[in-house]
């Protein structure tokens, strides 16, 4: 049986990833802080699944919890680090910034590194990280979120080099979504994808062991444009 772990499975993209992967026959380990949501999710999926309550901002404890889940599950071949938080920064407020840095940077690295060390020991595996198209530009209104996702994308690039040097069959997939309709997104921004459609594209990229995917595909062209646009011009729009 294929086994996978989703960190940040209790809502939105993580929840739908669990639904679609379980439908493909995966046995899943579901991690997040809200155990009520995780238990509800596990009960709604076909098959038996594992639930592990975890707060990635307690990085060392979360690493132990991920390792213990991996040990209980026996042969995990896929770890998806999807946990993330985002806020508009109308004010420059340290509490708001610290929360995003703790979850999206410190928590992300702690979970990804633990997963990669496990795959290196196992000799194979697949690490997936959920970054964002926001990694491709800076904005005064979402400066910490964009910077944190830039860290996620760069960190995964480094992990991919690490995997290549190991000569082991270890894949690292970076997912960079645009707007997806989940509790994280306020209002109705342009080009909002349904979570089902977005996750179908993510799962296809995971199954095809892609290095990188934009979701939905049109965000690839937006990111390409953002990569070459001068900051002074980007500032006129965001
Ligand atoms: N929606 C979008 O438009 C969009 C676009 C680009 C990228 N993304 C990225 O996609 C990922 C999923 O976001 P979403 O849109 O699905 O939002 P969401 O519904 O708010 O889901 C966020 C997930 O992260 C978990 N999480 C947050 N803080 C955590 C913590 N301290 N410890 C452990 N888990 C934590 C949440 O679980 P608990 O609260 O139960 O802990 C939840 O399962 C994020 O990384 C986000 O940055 C989303």
Model confidence at 189: pLDDT above 90:
no
Residue 123 — left, alpha, or beta (φ > 0 → left; ψ -120 to 50 → alpha)? left
- What are the b/e assignments for 19-35, b being 16+ CB within 10 Å? bbbbeeebbbbbbbeeb
Distance 165 CA to ligand 1 centre (A): 31
34 lines ligand 1 (CB under 6 A): yes
Domains of the chain: 3-234 (3.40.50.720)
**What per-residue confidence (pLDDT) applies to 45?**
98
Q: Which atom of ligand 1 is nearest to the CA of 83?
A: 24
Model confidence at 32: pLDDT above 90:
yes
179 lines ligand 1 (CB under 6 A): yes
Please name the residue whose Cα sits nearest to atom 19 of ligand 1: 12
**What per-residue confidence (pLDDT) applies to 195?**
98
Q: Bridge partners of 76?
A: none
Model confidence at 186: pLDDT above 90:
no
Q: Which atom of ligand 1 is nearest to the CA of 86?
A: 47
**What per-residue confidence (pLDDT) applies to 188?**
79
In a mutational test of the pocket of ligand 1, which residue from 8, 189, 201 has the highest number of ligand atoms less than 8 Å from its CB?
8
CA dihedral sign of residues 43, 46, 50, 51: negative
**What per-residue confidence (pLDDT) applies to 144?**
98
| pLDDT grade for 6, boundaries at 50, 70 and 90 | very high
Q: How many CB atoms lie within 10 A of CB 124?
A: 11
Instruction: Please state, rounded to an integer, the average pLDDT across all residues of the chain.
Output: 96
What pLDDT, in 10s, does the model give residues 105-141? 999 999 999 999 999 999 999 999 999 999 999 999 9
Spatial CB neighbours of 8, under 8 Å, sequence gap ≥ 6: 14, 31, 32, 56, 81, 82, 83, 84, 130
229 lines ligand 1 (CB under 6 A): no
**What per-residue confidence (pLDDT) applies to 49?**
98
What pLDDT, in 10s, does the model give residues 62-90? 999 999 999 999 999 999 999 999 999 99
Distance 204 CA to ligand 1 centre (A): 20
What's the whole-number mean pLDDT along residues 156-167?
98
């Amino acid at each position: 049986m294929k086994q996978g772990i989703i960190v940040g499975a209790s809502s939105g993209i993580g929840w739908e990833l669990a639904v679609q992967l379980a439908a493909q026959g995966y046995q899943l380990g579901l991690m997040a802080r809200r155990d009520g949501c995780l238990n509800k999710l596990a009960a709604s999926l076909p098959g038996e699944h594992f639930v592990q309550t975890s707060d990635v901002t307690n990085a060392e404890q979360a690493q132990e919890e991920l390792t213990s889940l991996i040990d209980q599950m026996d042969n995990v071949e896929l770890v998806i680090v999807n946990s993330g938080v985002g806020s508009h920064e109308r004010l420059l407020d340290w509490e708001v910034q610290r929360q995003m840095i703790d979850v999206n940077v410190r928590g992300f690295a702690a979970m990804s590194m633990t997963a990669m060390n496990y795959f290196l020991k196992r000799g194979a595996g697949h690490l997936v990280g959920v970054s964002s198209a926001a990694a491709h530009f800076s904005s005064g209104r979402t400066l910490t979120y964009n910077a944190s996702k830039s860290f996620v994308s760069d960190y995964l690039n480094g992990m991919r080099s690490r995997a290549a040097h190991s000569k082991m069959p270890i894949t690292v997939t970076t997912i960079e979504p645009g707007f997806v309709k989940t509790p994280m997104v306020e209002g109705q921004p342009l080009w909002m994808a349904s979570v089902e459609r977005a996750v179908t594209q993510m799962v296809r990229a995971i199954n095809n062991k892609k290095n990188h995917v934009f979701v939905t595909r049109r965000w690839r062209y937006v990111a390409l444009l953002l990569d070459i646009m001068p900051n002074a011009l980007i500032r006129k729009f965001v």
